[in-house]
Structure 1
Amino acid sequence: MAVQPEGAPCWADAMFRDVEGAKRFYGGVLGWTFGEASSEFGNYTEAYVDGKAVAAVVPPMSGQEGHSQWCLYFASQDAAATAARVREAGGEVLMEPMQVADYGTMCLARDPSGVVFGVWQAGRHEGFDAMAEPGAYCWAEVCTREPEKSDPFWAALFPYRVKTMQDAGVEFRVYDLGDRSVLGRMRMGDDFPPEVGPYINVYFTVEDCDAAVTRATELGGVLRFGPMDTPFGRFAALSDPQGANFSVIDVTKTEGEMPQMTDVG
């Protein structure tokens, strides 16, 4: 795929204490195969669907052996400039922009409500080779208990057009780039356990949501919500055996009318 525009999700990876266990789980649920671990880059291991790179898994670095979680990266034309905007908008740069050989430049950051994310300035590695097809990434939502802190940050960080969803039953925002919706924002309510911190929930496409949930739970995952039919597809929220949260969605099974969107002034 071509390099994504500024502010578009372009890659996802996660640190796992048990990388082989993560491979077994996601291979079973999403059909991923895996390349060779790159010892030069901390045993970073890419995941593939039909030979196309869709994500990566990696062991934790020293001092980062805590809770596993997916990290979503946003495309940037200039990672240093994006890092500067993170600070200007009230966020925190956790890892300064770092060139990764000729693959690209990365940095890690946190929004004012505590949501951790990545920034990727593409070099030889442009990001996802596939999106919105079985096994591949298709959507993400910023999940926060403090949208009053998070919303101004994301609106300032990237050139988004911001919309709110009407009659959704939840407080929900959508961020567009041009005519394409690229990111959602959900307020975390009482249905989220208090020990679950703010995070970005990544969605992976599956051919059959219910079958994917069955495989996930058989392999030690935990069903958190769903499966549920929506106008966007049938989806379910899960945690993998090491605690990383994610969702699966069958975009071919839709039900109901699309909700109305209103531009945020």
Structure 2
Amino acid sequence: MKSDGTLHHEVVTSHSVFGAPCWVSLTTRDLRAAEAFYHAVLGWEWASDTKMGDQYRIARVDRVPVAGVSEVDFAAKTAVAWTPYFAVSSADETVSRSQERGGTTAVGPISLPPGRAALLADRDGAVFGIWEGELVAGWEAWRRAAPAFIRLHTRDAFDAAMFYGEVLGWASKASGCCEVHYEENEVVLRSEGDIVARIHSGAVEAAPDPTIRPHWQIHFAVSDVEACARAARAHGGTAHQQGVGSTEAVLIDPDGAHFTVTSKADV
């Protein structure tokens, strides 16, 4: 621990864990309301980030940074949503590969010391971010305290896996890259053996579903799903559960951002 009371972590960059999810960030129209909601539901503590300005906060669990929240201008019509960020060795090269394969670029790459970021969408419209540079928290520390995993809901899991594999360098021969598997009707991404992302579009025999709006869903691991659902409802959000005792619930914060809480016992 440092003299100022913060935890020391080894500097880890996106070059060493490229292709894997490395951060999640929320855009909201009311920063204070978001802080209160996520503190009540997930127990997060908050800290300012002077590098990112007054409208950005870092959520912490046991002093480990786990997520970012930024306030956006209501008039700008920016989507209120949770977005996953993937580690890349070069933001410029990743953006180029995405565009070559039918993806679109919403923002960037832009410099955000200590790194560079871009906000992209795959060819089916699912939004994701990329990050090049020093990770906000040490890789192992973030993995222990961060979301259980992220899941892409899309129309064609195999087409999506091809896109992300080519753009983010999955299943390449490079040391430390992510492995891609097919398990229980989902494409599964593993980093150092751990499941860090899933891509889902239904049974392998099923045709692509045109009614699905492709999107990434963040799954946070929690000790008590029921308690999180009750807290969400009590603080202006909503909760959708499959039944009493369910090990998973989809929550919606007061501003409309969706996320999932999953029982740690199932992770």
Q: TM-score range by the shorter chain?
A: 0.7 to 0.9
**Do the aligned partners of 2:13 and 2:135 also contact (CA within 8 Å) in 1?**
no
The CA RMSD measured in Å over matched residues stands at 2.9
In the alignment, the residues of structure 2 paired with residue 253 and residue 40 of structure 1 have an alpha-carbon distance, to the nearest angstrom, of: 35
Residue in 2 aligned with 1:107? 118
Does residue 174 (structure 1) correspond to residue 188 (structure 2)? The answer is: yes
Identity %, equivalent residues: 27
The 1:235–1:6 alpha-carbon spacing in structure 2 relative to 1, beyond 3 Å, is same
Q: CA deviation at 1:213?
A: 1.4
* Aligned with 1:206 (options 194, 213, 222): 222
In structure 2, runs of 5+ residues without a counterpart are 1-8, 172-178, 204-208
Amino acid at match of 2:20: A
Q: Which residue is equivalent to 1:261?
A: none
User: Which whole-Å CA distance do the structure 2 matches of 1:209 and 1:132 have between them?
Assistant: 18
Alpha-carbon distance between aligned partners in 2 of 1:172 and 1:6, rounded to the nearest angstrom? 22
CA distance in 2, matches of 1:39, 1:82: 24
**1:224 aligned to which of 240, 253, 265:** 240
Conserved 8 A contact 1:44-1:56: yes
Superposition pairs for residues 1-265 of structure 1, below 5 Å?
2-3=12-13, 5-36=17-48, 38=50, 41=53, 43-61=55-73, 64-101=76-113, 103-123=114-134, 125-126=136-137, 129-133=141-145, 136-147=146-157, 149-157=159-167, 158-160=169-171, 161-166=179-184, 171-177=185-191, 179-187=193-201, 197-226=213-242, 234-252=247-265
Alignment-derived partner of residue 257 in structure 1: none
Q: TM-score, normalised by structure 1?
A: 0.79
Once the two structures are TM-superposed, the CA of residue 112 in structure 1 deviates from its matched residue by 0.7
Pair 1:253–1:181, CA change in 2 (3 A): closer
Deviates more, 1:121-130 or 1:73-82: 121-130
Q: Using structure 2 for the length normalisation, give the TM-score.
A: 0.79
Count of aligned residue pairs for this structure pair: 240
| Equivalent-residue separation in structure 2 for 1:108 and 1:248 (angstroms) | 24
Partner Cα distance (1:141, 1:106) in 2: 21
Distance 1:143 1:32, change over 3 A: same
- What is the CA distance between 1:96 and its match in structure 2? 2.3
Shift of 1:148: 5.7
Take 2:36 and 2:50, find their aligned partners in 1: how far apart are those partners? Answer: 19
